[in-house]
Amino acid sequence: MFQGKRVMVCTAHPDDEIFCSGTIVNLVNGGNEVMLVVGTEGEKGSHDPGTTPEGIAALRRTELETAAARLGIVSVVRLQYKDGELQYATDLKEVLFRMVRTHRPDVILTFDPWKRYELHSDHRTIGFAMIEAAHLGANCWYYHEQMNEPDTACHKTRELYLFNCDEPNYYVDISGVWEQKLTAASAHSSQFGYQQLTEQDVRRLTNRLNPNDQITIEPMHKMWQSDLYL
């Protein structure tokens, strides 16, 4: 596990970090700076017609703050796009390019947008946009006007990992932080309906394409090789 690196985790909703939360804890414990970027407020994430989008968003913000604190994340950026409508956010790529060029992460973790039968367009959209920003942020002619902004420079992220994937080629051992993953996930009680998640709940909620179905391993697809590693 590397140390002293900048890591950006990009998700669509306030509970999506559960897919890689064990990895996040490992990174934090290793002395790396982890930033969580969340695309929407998750204001449509309820089956209760008696709620309001504003009320749901407020609750999920509180849940996210609690989960992030339990994972050791000190920097959370909420982009505040409309839940379920990321595909219509015409400036999403521009915003993510700017974030890559401003924060210059060594590592990015995001959704695998090529996952088969992924039903949520927000997951696919944030994945595609983040991958392009990570890969093409070094090309100054993409959003060239950003080059005139303070503290902004061309940057290509050296490591890119996709979670919630169909074809994992990299596995992160989270056995040492498993309980912390469960505790952080339980903060999102409005989504999961539990005050405390069990191993079976996490198995249901996250992708389980692991060797021998080990639930204390988080599967990812590593996009390219470099001298860094998780």
Using one digit for the tens of pLDDT, what is the confidence trace for 60-106? Answer: 999 999 999 999 998 999 999 999 999 999 999 999 999 999 999 99
Q: Which residues of 137-161 are buried (b: 16+ CB within 10 A; e: fewer)?
A: beeeebbeebeeeeebebbebbbbb
Name the DSSP class of 195. S
CB 106 within 8 A of CB 160: no
Is the pLDDT reported for residue 224 higher than 70? yes
From the options 3.30.559.10, 3.40.50.10320, 2.60.40.10, 3.40.50.300, give the CATH code of 6-222.
Answer: 3.40.50.10320
Quick one: tokens of 172?
């992160």
Q: Which residues of 107-131 are buried (b: 16+ CB within 10 A; e: fewer)?
A: bbbbbbbebeebeeebbbbbbbbbb
Report field, pTM of the whole predicted structure over 0.85 = yes
